[in-house]
Amino acid sequence: MDWWKQIFAAFKKADIGQVAYVPDAGHAALIDACIADQDIHAIALTTEEEGVALLAGAWLGGVRGALLMQSSGVGNCINMFSLSSTCRFPLPVFVTMRGQWQEFNPWQHAMGESAQRHLETAGLQTRTAAEASEVGPLTTATLDKAFADGGMAALLLHQSLMPAKTFDQ
C-alpha cells in the first residue's frame, strides 16, 4: 500500500475527526483523501502553530485530530507546543521531511536538519519512517502515544519516500 494510504487507514481506524494542515507536496495525496472523506474535517491553516491550538480545542470537544506539516513548519510551532505539553493535550504530528535527501533547495536544510531536535526539545516523542512498509505501524504507534498516553508524538517521513522536487531543472 502507498505510504500515505497507510496513514489514512490508520487515521480512519483511530477515529480521527480533524486533520489540520499547511500543505506540503509530500502530503498532497493524503490531504486530498482527508478532504474527500465525509467524516473528517480537513482544516487548512495559515501557519502550523494554529493547528496545535486547534487540536487542543478539538480534544476539549471530544474529537481526535492530527496535524500535517513539512519540516519547516516545525519551527513555526515551538511556543504553541507548550499548550500541549503543559495541559497534556494529545498531539500527533506527521512531518514530511525536506533538506534530507536529493534536496534541490538549500533553504530547506536549516529546518530539515534541525526539525527532529526541535521536536524533541519541545517534548515530542519522534519516530522516523524511512521505508514505505513501516509507515503504517509507525503511524499507529504515533497515534497511540498521543491518545492512549495524552502525549505528543511526531512521525518524520523521510524525504526518500517522496519524489524528488527538481523545480523543472
Partner 1 sequence: MQDTRSDTYPLQRRDVVKRLTRGKDDLLVIAGLGSTAWDITSAGDRDLNFPLWGAMGGAISMGLGLALAQPQRRVLVITGDGETLMGMGSLASVALQGPQNLSICTFDNERYGETGMQMTHTSAKTDLAAVAAACGIAVTGEVRTEDALEAALPIILEAAGPVYHAIKVRAEKLDFVLPPKDGEHLKDRFRRALLGVC
Interface residues with partner 1 (CB under 8 A)? Answer: 17-18, 41, 43-47, 49-63, 65, 79-80, 82-83, 86-89
* CB-CB contact of 101 with 157 (8 Å): no
Q: Considering beta carbons, is residue 4 or 89 the nearer one to partner 1? A: 89
Q: 5 or 41, CB closer to partner 1?
A: 41
Helix (H) or strand (E) holding 83: helix 81-87
Closest separation between CB of residue 85 and partner 1, Å? 9
User: How far apart are CB 103 and partner 1 at their closest, in Å?
Assistant: 27
H or E element in which residue 21 lies: strand 16-21
Dihedrals φ, ψ of 167, to 5°? 55, 35
Cell of 85: 505539553
Minimum CB distance to partner 1, residue 52 (Å): 7
> What does the alpha-carbon distance between residue 169 and residue 161 come to, in Å, rounded to a whole number?
20
Closer residue to partner 1, CB minimum distance, 3 or 94: 94
Residue listed under C-alpha cell 480521527: 16
Which lies closer to partner 1 via its Cβ, residue 68 or residue 157?
A: 68
Q: What's the min distance (Å) between Cβ of 49 and partner 1?
A: 7
